[in-house]
Amino acid sequence: MADHQNYIHDHTHSNDHATHPDLDGHTLSDGEVWEAALRELLLEKGVITLPELNDQMNRTASQSAAVGASIIAKAWKDQKFKKALLANPKATIADLGHDISTMPDLVIVENRVDVHNVVVCTLCSCYPRYMLGPPPEWYRSAAYRARVVRDPREVLIEFGLNISAEKTIRVYDSTADLRYMVMPLCPPGAEHTPVKHLQTIITRDSMIGVGLPRLP
């Protein structure tokens, strides 16, 4: 992140240097042209400022699946917290000190021994960033969006997850206003593992539903 902040900073003080340090020497793609042109227009018009852009990039860089993992780990350990979390996710998470008032609504779906849950956004790429960080490339891909609702079992096998035929697979389709995340099953033997350690095994993929928490 520091690199990008330096880059934006440098750029303001080198107007004689017409293009961007990281873009010199190669022909810009359409997207790169659009981004540079849009950014310059928004800055010229005073719609956004460079410090704001830096702050936003910094905030985004500090979002990660570690937030979601810490909350799931706490729920595995604390039945009362888990009940509250499943009943009223946003309020329960806010009570922990996370400022999520402007974030879209959240539903946490709990995996059970007979039900495995998986999350997608078929219409777009809606994702609970404030719990899981930025969505992975594949989550946003046309292939995942089109296929996981049609044949989740097959798709999960591609992710290395073989869900037994006896288990029901439920696919949750997120919307702009309502995001889903999965509460994976606590792996056997992990009940007595400290929360701090549990957090490290609750991966982003396990909270999307395409993976399972791995014990070391």
Partner 1 sequence: MTDDKQAKSHTHVETRGAHDLGGFLNHLLAHGIDARISREEMPKTPYEERADAMLLLLSNAGKGFLNIHAMRRASEQFTHEDYLKLSYYDRWLKAMVALCIETGVFSDHEWQAKKQQVLLQNKAAQKRISD
- Rounded to an integer, what distance in angstroms lies between the CA atom of residue 77 and that of residue 197? 12
Pick the binder of partner 1 from 14, 41, 78, 83 (CB under 8 A). Answer: 41
84 binds partner 1 (CB under 8 A): no
Pick the binder of partner 1 from 35, 84, 110, 169 (CB under 8 A). Answer: 35
50 binds partner 1 (CB under 8 A): no
Q: Within 13 A of 160's CA, how many CA atoms are on the CB side? A: 6
9 binds partner 1 (CB under 8 A): no
94 binds partner 1 (CB under 8 A): no
Closest CA to 210 of 119, 130, 137: 119
- One DSSP character per residue, 151-216 reads -HHHHHHHTT----TTSEEEEEE--SSEEEEEEPPPPTT-TTS-HHHHHHHS-HHHHHTSS-----
7 binds partner 1 (CB under 8 A): yes
Q: How far is the CB of 181 from partner 1 (least distance, A)?
A: 18
- Helices 79-87 and 65-77: angle between axes, nearest 10 degrees: 130
Nearer to partner 1 (CB atom), residue 3 or residue 114 = 3
29 is catalytic: no
124 is catalytic: yes
Residue numbers of the site for partner 1 (CB under 8 A)? Answer: 3-4, 7-8, 18-19, 22-42, 45, 47-48, 52-53, 56-57, 60, 102-103, 120, 122-126, 134, 136-138, 140-147, 149-151, 154-155, 158-159, 173, 176
